[in-house]
Amino acid sequence: MRDVVITGIGSTRFGKLKGRGVQNIAVEAANDALSRSGIERKDIGALYLGNFAAGPLAGQEVLAGIVGDEIGVSGIPCTKVEGACASGGIAFRHAVLAVASGQCDAAVVVGTEKMTHARGSDVTAALNNAMDNQSDGPSGLTFPGFFGLAWRVHAEKYGTTRDEVSSIIIKNKANGLNNPLAQMGAELTSDIIEQSQPIADPLQLYDCCPVSDGAAALVIVAADRATEAPDQPIRVKAAIQTSGSARLAGHESLCSFKTTELAAAQAYEQAQISASDIDLAEIHDCFSMAEVIHSEDLGLVPRGQGAKWAAEGRTQVDGQIAINPSGGLLSKGHPVGATGVGQLYEVVKQLRGEHPNQVNNARLGLAQNVGGAGVACTVSILERTDV
Amino acid sequence: MRDVVITGIGSTRFGKLKGRGVQNIAVEAANDALSRSGIERKDIGALYLGNFAAGPLAGQEVLAGIVGDEIGVSGIPCTKVEGACASGGIAFRHAVLAVASGQCDAAVVVGTEKMTHARGSDVTAALNNAMDNQSDGPSGLTFPGFFGLAWRVHAEKYGTTRDEVSSIIIKNKANGLNNPLAQMGAELTSDIIEQSQPIADPLQLYDCCPVSDGAAALVIVAADRATEAPDQPIRVKAAIQTSGSARLAGHESLCSFKTTELAAAQAYEQAQISASDIDLAEIHDCFSMAEVIHSEDLGLVPRGQGAKWAAEGRTQVDGQIAINPSGGLLSKGHPVGATGVGQLYEVVKQLRGEHPNQVNNARLGLAQNVGGAGVACTVSILERTDV
């Protein structure tokens, strides 16, 4: 496997993109990424597209081929992958593999989702397609319910408090205020969070990420072919994908996702680093409690301390380990199939030193993307190589 | 890239599988394939799953992870790919790449679809998700309509007659009668076909494949790791995937799919053979006219002669080139995401000399799987290596 870098990157704003189609926003992001890639379209050898819900919500499948055709790379293998909220991360890993294994010298990865045009009940139904409905459907379990249960277990086991969890939301919403791509940055207080609408006890409204539209894209290039790139190429040190149970009962403990622990261990090994080397991490905070669990599973904070570290400010942009300096899903938004690609866009910006919430001297960045209740996970590690 | 073989194969019957779930039939096929693979579950390093419509028709996504968990390979990368009717072929290519590139020594590919439980209007709507609906949706175009137009162009250009096209249906329906996995084998006549219900002029009912349930699976193994396989390993000589336009207006001529021509040229080059070396081909006859077009695009019959060759018996099991000895989609059925994997199951049976419609001395077999109106295509070539 040869060295691979990211050159061009592109992203729409995340949020309500009225009047846009799921393929149009993907085309916009991909064209933006290509225009800054230093690569001609004829040299693109593969396209991977992450999408989750365009079938039920837009009546449109085969998006990989449609987008490939519209951006002018038709003929090459264009592949849509789906792993619920991890679709974007899975698409990224496959584009990296295509280049690293020598199938081609350059590949495009794009993630896209359009959700805000649909009725709320249709969105909820589509999101629930990411559960194992044969197993957990009859119980009426939803994702807020799942993370509500996880919260109760975490609080019981580690004494995690409402205020500690709220500090994650306050941090991510504040980070989002500075991010021009973010859907819902805000200045919040514990009181505002506690007084917001209850969703699935103990989750309140602000514990949940919004429903979002958005698309993001990256161009993946063999390191020795990135000489024409106008912006600094960022090296892919690890791109790992794992799977786990989609069922509630498939988790030994709700305080931990095996799929993340496995992916993290493999990613640190592939990158030949340890968790403490990471300067910043974009992690899958679809709910506030998800950031707690994932930051612990990734080894970025000690077990049981995910919320406490946030409360102590250690996961701020200028903290010990910057977690979700983009604002994360809670604040930047969660256009499902685009999220994993959008996380990597943010990490590239950080490693280039161009982020609105810049982490000082950022050299190693991590992105973690989780599907469903842990049925899929990707952990990717990027490196700035000139420092 | 190293040599890769298929060892274990498994398939459910195609047809109406009442009371079964889209994941359950996939698990059955995958377990059957694993049990004849000579490979232990701990040595499986990747799973690829092809599915198209489980979101809208079964309210279930993340099938790759669910099936991986149920067959006991959880933890490894489990990836669902979607390219409409080519989903199975795309999944196969990715499993082959995973092993050929050295990512792992063995991989499982499974295709699955459950459609017959749904209302006809819901099935039609789900199938239409495979068109470019932004472009062709407003015209009301459907897939029967698309192939009806193609038929008219082919008849105008080459003088193709209703009777010639009917000979394809008669052949495939007769082949299906002997195939225990086939949904709708039948003894037909030109009269019966002509008198069947009109669908989209000039297509009658028998010109169209049925709506089907089914699942099929294969285990892909590095050639030097296939020593414990109980059945004859079959070599993968080529696994090619291409893309093309999803739009009607994206076709220069409706008598030809560029995506197939490109995939065929690349596959013959990869296998270092020519079309005339192929002994049998399972090709994507979703409609009778599709077999005409695809057999020409693949170079298996001369341009314009697809239906004439069938009428002359040259594409029979004992003809010059056996086309769809399984019965094809018209007769075996078309469980969308499973079709491409099912085609390869049939080719393996042929190359092992175990097929109910055995082609004499079959050494090289081809499978062609097409998505939508040519938005994706895979062409795979398998070889029996002991003759």
Domain boundaries, chain A: 4-119+211-225
The pLDDT score that the predictor gives to residue A387 is 56
Spatial distance between the Cα atoms of A110 and A52, rounded to a whole number of angstroms: 12
- B337, B112 contact by CB (below 8 A): yes
Among candidate residues B104, B334, B355, B377, the one labeled active-site is B334
Beta strand pairing call for B106-113 and B214-222: antiparallel
Which residue in chain A is spatially nearest to B66 when comparing CA positions? A246
Dihedral sign computed on CA atoms, order B21, B23, B27, B33 = positive
Question: Do the Cβ atoms of A310 and A296 come closer than 8 Å?
Answer: no
Residues of chain B neighbouring A246 (CB-CB closer than 8 A): 62, 65-66, 69
* Subunit contact B375:A94, Cβ cutoff 8 A: no
Q: Do B376 and A78 touch (CB under 8 A)?
A: yes
d(CA B1, CA B236) in angstroms, rounded, equals 12
The predicted pLDDT at position B140 comes to 87
Nearest-CA residue of chain A relative to B76? A242
B chain contacts of residue A131, beta-carbon cutoff 8 Å: 62
Tell me which residue of A121, A58, A4, A373 sits closest to B128, measured CA to CA.
A58
Query: With respect to CATH, is domain A4-119+211-225 assigned 3.30.565.10?
Result: no
Q: Which residues of B touch A103 (CB under 8 A)?
A: 97, 101
Report how far apart, in Å, the C-alpha atoms of A269 and of each of A104, A171, A322 are.
Answer: 25, 30, 21
| Cα A47 to Cα A263: distance, rounded to the nearest angstrom | 24
Subunit contact B82:A80, Cβ cutoff 8 A: yes
**Mean pLDDT of the region A208-224:** 98
* Interatomic CA distance for residues A34 and A41, integer angstroms: 8
Q: Please indicate whether residue A78 is annotated as part of the active site.
A: no
Residue in B closest to A370 by C-alpha: B62
Contacts of A76 in chain B (CB under 8 A): 242-243
Nearest to B68 among A47, A243, A372 (CB): A243
Q: Exactly one of A78, A85, A209, A377 is catalytic; which is it? A: A85
**What average pLDDT does the segment A269-273 reach?**
98
pLDDT at B387: 56
Which residues of A are less than 8 Å from B241 in CB distance? 77, 79
Residue appearing with tokens 């175990």: B354
Each residue's pLDDT tens digit, A30-43: 999 999 999 999 99
Closest approach of A91 to chain B, Cα-based (Å): 10
H-assigned helices in chain A: 22-35, 54-58, 63-70, 87-100, 120-128, 143-158, 162-178, 190-195, 258-271, 288-297, 306-311, 328-332, 336-351
Q: How many CA atoms lie within 13 A of A143 on its CB side?
A: 27
Q: Which residue of A has its CA nearest to B379?
A: A77
A255 is catalytic: no
Averaged pLDDT, A287-299: 98
Nearest CA in chain B to A51: B82
Q: What is the pLDDT of residue B137?
A: 86
Predicted pLDDT of residue A60:
97
Share of chain B residues as helix, strand and coil, in percent rounded to the nearest 5: 40, 20, 40
Mean pLDDT of A270-288: 98
Which residues in B279-298 are b (16+ Cβ under 10 Å) and which e? Answer: bbbbbbbbbbbbbbbbbbbb
Contact between chains at B262 and A75 (C-beta distance less than 8 A): yes
At residue B214, the pLDDT reads 98
Is B345 in contact with B335 (CB distance < 8 Å)?
no
Chain B partners within 8 Å of A77 (Cβ): 90, 93, 241-243
- Cβ of B69 and A246 within 8 Å? yes
Return the structure tokens found at A115. 């959700």
Which residues contact residue A121 at a Cβ distance below 8 angstroms, ignoring those fewer than 6 apart?
none
Tell me the mean pLDDT in the region A98-108: 98
On whether the CB atoms of residues A147 and A202 are closer than 8 A, the answer is: no
Higher pLDDT: B248 or A216? It is: A216
- Is the CB of B81 less than 8 angstroms away from the CB of A80? yes
Q: Is residue A269's pLDDT more than 70?
A: yes
pLDDT at A386: 81
How far CA B96 is from CA of A11, A67, A213, B65, B235, in Å, comes to 32, 25, 34, 19, 11
CB B218 within 8 A of CB B92: yes
Question: Which of B47, B62, B90, B124 is the best substitution to test chain A (most A C-beta atoms within 10 A)?
Answer: B62
387 residues of chain B, pLDDT tens digit each = 899 999 999 999 999 999 999 999 999 999 999 999 999 999 999 999 999 999 999 999 999 999 999 999 999 999 999 999 999 999 999 999 999 999 999 999 999 999 999 999 999 999 999 999 999 988 888 999 999 999 999 999 999 999 999 999 999 999 999 999 999 999 999 999 999 999 999 999 999 999 999 999 999 999 999 999 999 999 999 999 999 999 999 999 999 999 999 999 999 999 999 999 999 999 999 999 999 999 999 999 999 999 999 999 999 999 999 999 999 999 999 999 999 999 999 999 999 999 999 999 999 999 999 999 999 999 999 999 985
Residue A202: cis peptide before it, omega within 30 degrees of 0: yes
Residues B80, A83: C-beta atoms closer than 8 Å: yes
Q: Residue B49's closest CA among B171, B206, B217?
A: B217
pTM attached to this predicted model: 0.98
Q: Are B336 and B52 in contact (CB under 8 A)?
A: yes
Residues of A in contact with B97 (CB under 8 A): 97, 101, 103
CA dist A291 and A112 (Å) reads 23
Q: Which of A60, A128, A243 sits opposite B129 (nearest CB)?
A: A60
Measured between alpha carbons, how far is A53 from A278 in angstroms, rounded to an integer? 32
Q: One of B85, B209, B286, B377 is an active-site residue; which one?
A: B85
